[in-house]
Amino acid sequence: MLFTEQKQESVQQLFHEILLSTRIHIKFFDNLSDTGRDIVY
């Protein structure tokens, strides 16, 4: 029981880190595409 609780906690932590890094990547690529549009137009 304790093992599964700890495992679920680590999975949530991992998921949170993935979400965080994905959000950072999305923000980065948004800025990148904005810059690209400025260069194109």
pLDDT confidence of residue 13? 92
pLDDT confidence of residue 38? 66
- d(CA 30, CA 36) in angstroms, rounded, equals 10
Q: What are the C-alpha distances in Å from 24 to residues 5, 18, 20, 31, 38?
A: 29, 10, 6, 11, 21
For the ranges 2-6, 14-18, 21-25, which has the lowest average pLDDT? 2-6
Report the predicted TM-score, pTM, of the whole model to 2 decimal places. 0.48
More confident call, 35 vs 8: 8
Instruction: Say which residue the tokens 């979400």 belong to.
Output: 19
The DSSP code sequence of 1-41 is -HHHHHHHHHHHHHHHHHHHHHHHHHHHHHHHHHHHHHHH-
The rounded radius of gyration (Å) of the Cα atoms in the chain is 18
More confident call, 3 vs 16: 16
